[in-house]
Amino acid sequence: MKVQSLQDLKIVRKALAERRERATALEAARREAARRAEAEANLFRRAAGTVQPLKAPTRVLMPPVPVAPIPVQSQIDEQRVLHESLSDEFDASTLLDVDDALSYRRSGVGTDVTRKLRRGDWAIQREIDLHGLRRDDAREALGAFIREAHKHGIRCVRVVHGKGLGSPGKTPVLKGRVHSWLVQKKEVIAFVQARPAEGGAGALVVLLQPT
């Protein structure tokens, strides 16, 4: 497998260490079983005295059962999910561009990307609607949606967060949270406020990293 980071290397090393520990434990158990069998055999010989051994029947040697391979890549993927944490305290406001419409682009990404994204050069391939979800549920749903979309090679998605008209004080609480969560997702390279026909201020068009 291809190790892409120090974290991946640590996980692989841990998996290999666990495998060696299991093999050592199995070998120790085998030796203990052999020792006990030998002790019991000696006890029987002392009790029975001199005997003539019977002719041993023909035995068929069975091949050893192969040890199942350790799914290292699956373990790495699971560890990535466990270590992924979207903070509600992350302030994304300083990373957003607010000109004629809100937008965000990751460091190193040119302004032409957000311009093309606003223009609709990338077709929207998937969509998630976070309306009516509690904050924790919305965060989890958005993280899983972005992760799965990127995994399947999706480049452009729409995230509907609503305009906050149903919130107390008409304050769009979820809208600001979604901005912060998306900025923290490594798969996201840019997003812009959707065009009026696509949801306007109540939605974002998000561009993901190519796989």
Per residue, what are the HEC states of 101-149?
CEEEECCCCCHHHHHHHHHCCCCCCEEEECCCCCHHHHHHHHHHHHHHH
pLDDT band at 204, cuts 50/70/90? Answer: very high
Higher pLDDT, 173 or 50: 173
CB atoms within 10 A of CB 76: 21
- The per-residue pLDDT for range 115-125, each reduced to its tens digit, is 999 999 999 99
Summarize the confidence of residues 40-55 as an average pLDDT. Answer: 70
User: What is the model's pLDDT at position 84?
Assistant: 54
**Residues 190, 176, 143, 11: is their CA dihedral positive or negative?**
positive
Highest-confidence segment of 31-35, 171-175, 178-182: 178-182
User: Considering only 32-36, 57-61, 107-111, 136-140, which range has the smallest mean pLDDT?
Assistant: 57-61
pTM of this structure: 0.55
CB 105 within 8 A of CB 190: yes
- The per-residue pLDDT for range 92-132, each reduced to its tens digit, is 554 555 555 689 999 999 999 999 999 999 999 999 999 88
Residues in the chain: 211
Nearest CA to 151 out of 179, 186, 116 is that of 186
Distance CA 29, CA 63 (A): 20
Output the CA angle 103-109-112, nearest 5 degrees.
Answer: 70
Question: What CATH number matches the domain at 93-208, 2.40.50.140, 3.90.960.10, 1.20.1560.10, 3.30.1370.110?
Answer: 3.30.1370.110
Cα-trace Rg, the chain: 30
**Residues 76, 81, 87, 92: is their CA dihedral positive or negative?**
positive
Distance CA 192, CA 207 (A): 9
Tell me the domain boundaries of the chain.
Answer: 6-51+69-83, 93-208
Highest-confidence segment of 27-31, 51-55, 139-143, 172-176: 139-143
What is the DSSP secondary structure assignment for residue 65, as one 8-state letter?
A: P
Mean pLDDT, the chain, integer: 79
Higher pLDDT, 94 or 39: 39
